[in-house]
Structure 1
Amino acid sequence: MELVRKRLIHLHRCRGVTRKTIRKFIRYDPTLKSIYKLTSTQVSQFFSLPHKNAVLFHSDLRSQELKNQLKRDLTSYKVITVVDENYPFVLKTIKDAPLVLYAIGDTSLLNLDPILSVIGTRKPSREAKLKMEKYVLPLIQQNWIIVSGMATGIDSFAHQMALEHKGKTIAVLGSGFRHIYPKQNSALFKQIAINGLLLSEYTPNSPPERFYFPERNRIISGLSFGTLVIEATKKSGTLITVDQALDQGREVYAVPGSPLLKQTEGCHKMIQDGAKLVQEADDILEDWDRIKPNWVI
């Protein structure tokens, strides 16, 4: 199993292939050993891969520089793969589950519950922190783990609130660990590394890409039994996470607010569409008590 794990991490580092392709590799050969013996033409033919992608993959697979970088990263960061015993079971239940996760911090948090994702706009209203004190702080004080994406605004507030009140928090990044985004959250990154957990499915040298952020949202919602939206505009990226949470069969909660604020328009639309309106933290606590007997983490 250790060899399979190492091969999976190696394949995940190679260019030219996607998670979908790697899943095809696993179905073709669960040991992944035979993939190393294929020519680029065979890779292209067997796995319906464009030839230029197969050539790039074949080249990376044999790159000593890539292997050396991988060795350095494995000594610097923890790595969790889908074949590991400590891989979060709840993530195995979602579509397109991450195959490899890089981690800094306390990975035992992945095996605790309850975990709630707290998300929202990058440009919150002046009321946002008061809302979080009302709805999120009581959960932190009862040892709930708060997951978010370390973006500016609501995400940052959620992580900071957990840290300030000696709670636990998990940040799922849309970049590699050597490219902290946004840069102004470098101090927050370091705090979470010491007192929480940082996760990324992107290799440490991966700079942020626009499509990484909506992509990583499936992990934020997938780790959690529910997602709480504090504030969101009508066209907020937050709604992508909400859609993924619903697709994953997770609970979705929305905080109402003044109809005069654009930051509450998205929440009101979500409530119209069936999200649970939250008036007290107890609304979420009571839901968890109901769900907990059937929740497997």
Structure 2
Amino acid sequence: MESDFQHRLLALHYVYPKPLSRLNRILEKDPELQFFYRMPIYELAEALNIPSAQAGRIKSAYIHSLQIPFRQIYEKHSIFPISFKHSIYPSSLHDLIDPPVVLYAKGHIDLLAHPSKIAIIGSREASVYSELALSKIIPPLIDQNTVIVSGLAKGADAMAHSKTIKMGGRTIAVVGSGFLHPYPKENAVLQYIIEENHLLVSEYPPYMPPKKWNFPMRNRIISGLSKGIVVTEAKVKSGTLSTIEHALDHGKDIFAVPGNIDSALSEGPHKLIKEGAKPVWNGWQILEEYER
């Protein structure tokens, strides 16, 4: 956090928290953001592909945010901001079409560099069947030192984090809001446990409230961090399957838990299996894929 560039980047991200793809034209012209504050509004509007009025507001807010002592504030709240240029920024995220500009992290940031990470996702309406599936899938993964990644949503995500913690494993939660706005409220205690003992990650500045469009964006990070993704239960049209779309775009392994043919929550996994996902019902089947 010591560099001048880091401070300027945090100031810009504070007022314009967009993916790197939206800033590329700015950074091509001004890689260190040394002259951003002097950029003409018409040029800024063109580079960001936004109206001039919005560009003017962003520039004004940016100049003001340069005065904010981000280092002291984030240290006070145990937040570690990791820019896309930082040495511990996960290289796999650079493979995304729209990598995060900054990852805000709380907890054990060394987990980002862990070589074996598997995501487990599923419906917010997940049933006890997901609990049963996770009791078969997670223990072997933990036994082989695999980190479990999920999105801290209610339902299957919370089950995956909780089961991992209970079994003595390590987990990464990728959230769709800033750290000052835990979401959902019913997982606030779980979020606290993860940020204290595991790793909590967001691409949004701490003040950012949860917005519905944040969560599809969050899903690409879950996929980007993981070498494979397990789906427990999900409807065919769901946010869970949007994560799978990101994963397929980047060649990730997809695993799906077969379920009751009478359940709508089994339709998503069954569709994935039909399309080529590997059916699994215990964690050893997943590990076997990486022993070949």
| Fold shared per TM-score above 0.5 | yes
Aligned partner of 1:271 in structure 2 is: 273
Aligned partner of 1:293 in structure 2 is: none
Aligned partner of 1:162 in structure 2 is: 164
Aligned-pair identity in percent equals: 39
Alignment equivalent of 1:131, drawn from 124, 130, 133: 133
Give, in angstroms, the shift of residue 275 of structure 1: 1.1
Residues 255, 277 of structure 2: 8 Å contact kept:
yes
Give, in angstroms, the shift of residue 260 of structure 1: 0.9
Q: Deviations over 1:142-161 (max 9, x none)?
A: 22100000000110011011
Aligned partner of 1:32 in structure 2 is: 33
Distance 1:264 1:204 in 2: 36
Q: Deviations over 1:91-110 (max 9, x none)?
A: 11222111101010000001
Aligned partner of 2:21 in structure 1 is: 20
Matched residue SS, 1:163: helix
Aligned partner of 1:60 in structure 2 is: 61
Structure 1 stretch displaced more, 119-128 or 33-42: 33-42
Q: Residues 202 and 265 from structure 1, CA distance in 2 versus in 1: closer, same or farther, beyond 3 angstroms?
A: same
Q: Residues 194 and 239 from structure 1, CA distance in 2 versus in 1: closer, same or farther, beyond 3 angstroms?
A: same
Aligned partner of 1:148 in structure 2 is: 150
Q: Residues 130 and 17 from structure 1, CA distance in 2 versus in 1: closer, same or farther, beyond 3 angstroms?
A: closer
Distance 1:58 1:113 in 2: 40
Q: Deviations over 1:44-83 (max 9, x none)?
A: 245543101211111111115x742635533221010111
Residues 174, 213 of structure 1: 8 Å contact kept:
yes
Gaps of 5+ in 1: 291-297
* Letter of the 2:15 counterpart: C
Aligned partner of 1:295 in structure 2 is: none
Give, in angstroms, the shift of residue 286 of structure 1: 1.3
* Letter of the 2:44 counterpart: V
Q: Deviations over 1:220-257 (max 9, x none)?
A: 01000000001111212100000000011111110001
Aligned partner of 1:251 in structure 2 is: 253
Alignment equivalent of 1:81, drawn from 60, 83, 97: 83
Distance 2:287 2:180 in 1: 37
Matched residue SS, 2:171: strand
Give, in angstroms, the shift of residue 18 of structure 1: 5.9
Aligned partner of 2:203 in structure 1 is: 201
Give, in angstroms, the shift of residue 11 of structure 1: 1.2
Matched residue SS, 1:31: coil
Aligned partner of 2:118 in structure 1 is: 116
Distance 1:72 1:138 in 2: 41
* Letter of the 1:171 counterpart: A
Gaps of 5+ in 2: none
Matched residue SS, 2:68: helix
Distance 2:184 2:254 in 1: 26
Distance 2:283 2:193 in 1: 26
CA-atom RMSD in angstroms: 1.8
Matched residue SS, 1:80: strand
Q: Residues 142 and 46 from structure 1, CA distance in 2 versus in 1: closer, same or farther, beyond 3 angstroms?
A: closer
Distance 2:19 2:57 in 1: 12
Distance 2:45 2:191 in 1: 40
Aligned partner of 1:70 in structure 2 is: 70
Residues 102, 199 of structure 1: 8 Å contact kept:
yes
Q: Residues 30 and 160 from structure 1, CA distance in 2 versus in 1: closer, same or farther, beyond 3 angstroms?
A: same
Q: Residues 104 and 259 from structure 1, CA distance in 2 versus in 1: closer, same or farther, beyond 3 angstroms?
A: same
Residues 92, 225 of structure 2: 8 Å contact kept:
yes
TM-score of the superposed pair, with normalisation by structure 2: 0.94
Aligned partner of 1:285 in structure 2 is: 287
